Amino acid sequence: MPTADSPITIAVGDGHVSGAYARPANPIATLVLAHGAGAGMEHPFMRGFTGALNDDGVATLRFNFPYREAGRKFPDRPPAAIATWRAAMAEAAARSESAGSESAESESAGSAEPIWAAGKSFGGRMASMAVAEGMQAAGLVYLGYPLHPPGKPEKLRDEHLYGVQTPMLFLQGTRDTFATKDLLEGVVSRIGPTATLQWCEGGDHSFAVAGNKRSAEDIGASLAAPVAAFLRANSPANSPAGG
């Protein structure tokens, strides 16, 4: 049986944002997922990705940024986005700990699986900035990291990445105009062994491949397997949860 989403509300400062939480039995990790600049948490890509992760034993929490919640088009500035990230991670950690405390096995009571931060484009960049500023996370997953604006490779958004010590997975399409191939490879190389880059051949910024007609939901779902494998390889038992 597929794991059903549960709608949740996350308090952020004096306001709140919507979220969706799904928890399969005995998850290996929880992955908190933020959307990109142009689409919210209910986009089919987001739903397909988290649904496939749930089927592979990963709990997920996806959420809206305040601008999306309010129906605005222009993304939040980093301070507001980072505050939202912190609130979402705290919510995920609390739910993980609550599930652990309800376990019938005394030795696992109160335990919590690792909490990862992930995001599509803007959402992933804001996650990395939050971690660079001290937000705790077991690791980071980028679904199309926006290294630079299209056509402007000189405007790199990479300085904060070199101080992040957690495992990072960059999933990137080879036709993504937001990340010139040689520039991204150079950034990942400079970050060092904590960073892994996996190219999706022919994929654009939305991971669509020319000549391969797939729904956004199917495209999102196709990225779940490499992400789940990375989480398994980098989430030892009883790793500290994010908050």
Share of the chain above pLDDT 70, in %: 91
Q: How confident is the model at residue 109 (pLDDT cuts 50, 70, 90)?
A: very low
* CATH class of the 6-234 domain in this structure: alpha beta
User: How confident is the model over 200-210, as a mean pLDDT?
Assistant: 96
Over 50: is that where the pLDDT of 104 sits? Answer: no
Reduced to 3 states (helix: H, G, I; strand: E, B; else coil), residue 56 is coil
Averaged confidence pLDDT in the chain? 92
Alpha-helical (H) ranges within 102-203 are 122-132, 181-191
Structure tokens at 180: 């010139």
The pLDDT value given to residue 3: 83
Angle between helices 122-132 and 78-101 (to 10 degrees): 80
pLDDT of 234 reads 95
The pLDDT, as a whole number, for residue 237 is: 54
β-pairing verdict for 140-143 and 168-173: parallel
In the prediction, which pLDDT does 241 show? 43
Q: Where are the domains of the chain?
A: 6-234
Instruction: Supply the pLDDT for residue 100.
Output: 66
Residue 243: the pLDDT is 46
Q: Give the C-alpha distances (Å, rounded to integers) separating 222 from 47, 49, 52, 214, 228.
A: 12, 7, 8, 10, 11
- What does the pLDDT read at residue 4? 86
pLDDT, position 102: 63
In this predicted structure, the answer to whether residue 239 has a pLDDT above a threshold of 50 is no
Mean pLDDT along residues 20-42: 96
132-144 residue pLDDT tens = 999 999 999 999 9
Tokens read off for 96: 């993980």
Q: Taking a C-beta distance cutoff of 8 angstroms, is the pair 54, 62 a contact?
A: no
CA distance 230 to 190: 20
